[in-house]
Amino acid sequence: VSRACLGLRFAERLPKAGETIHGKKFMTSFGGKGANQCVAAAKLGGKTTLIANLGEDKWGHEYKVYLEKLNVNTDQIQLKSDFDTGIAHISVADSGENHIIIVAGANGSITPGHISTMNNILDAGKILVCQLETPVDATITALRRFKGISILNAAPAQPCTNNELLKLATIFCVNEVEASVIAGVDVSNVEKAKKAIEVLLQKGCQTVIITLGADGAVFASRSDSTAVFVPAKKVTPIDTTGAGDAFIGTLAYLLAYKEDMSMKDKIKLACDAASE
């Protein structure tokens, strides 16, 4: 369940508040967290369906064609004449760091009623992946209805994230920045990530994964609350945009198709995919 397009701006570094700097390059592309995650799983051979609303505009029509070429099922994408296609504006520094501003557009029009018409899709699926790019009430409806394994990627982070969201998702997955906002713990290293996981489990999460960029990820669950650190392979980051989506898409694929693999090994492979 997701939103759509993005504009990328590249510069030597990210500007400070109120500062204007020269960039190196600008490009537009297709993206959105859920879409990127769908594509990542589809590239591994997974059968994926994207639930999204797009604007009935140039971007919306081109985006559907783009997804179809990548073997993502687009039957549940609606083109809305009264909305523009959702956009994310992304600034990327030479270090790979980025800033992202999201304008929901048509994806903000997804409603619980919209989700309730998709019972056949939800019944057929093994994995449901949601984010906070879509209206919370629609996301809650999808998580309540779905009976398989659900992943909530709580991005963009919100300080007062609905506790029902935390409890409904089988797996709650966030990066260090999102974990800091939601758990109220400054996640600056592995030990702080373990503390944040403890807080999130107390809030009702079933399983928590916190990704730590180039360092890897930490995870724990209510059934085994001892947090485990999974290191990532060492690489030099060029652009971290989409790394978290590659992680989630790979994890979703492995949960669906590699049921006998341990969670630690699944997270290790997802970390490797995110670093490529």
- Determine contact, residues 100/245, Cβ cutoff 8 Å: no
Distance CA 80, CA 116 (A): 18
245 labelled catalytic? yes
Sole residue written with tokens 């592309």: 29
Which of 215, 188, 187, 221 minimizes the C-alpha distance to 274? 215
Residues in the chain: 276
Phi/psi of residue 144, nearest 5 degrees: -65, -40
Using the structure block, give the residue that is written with the tokens 């989630």. Answer: 248
Q: Given the residues 84, 137, 239, 245, select the one marked as catalytic.
A: 245
Contacts 24+ apart (CB under 8 A), 152-157: 153/33, 153/37, 153/129, 153/244, 153/248, 154/178, 154/182, 155/33, 155/131, 155/244, 156/100, 156/102, 156/132, 157/132, 157/181, 157/182
Which active-site residues does the annotation give? Answer: 245
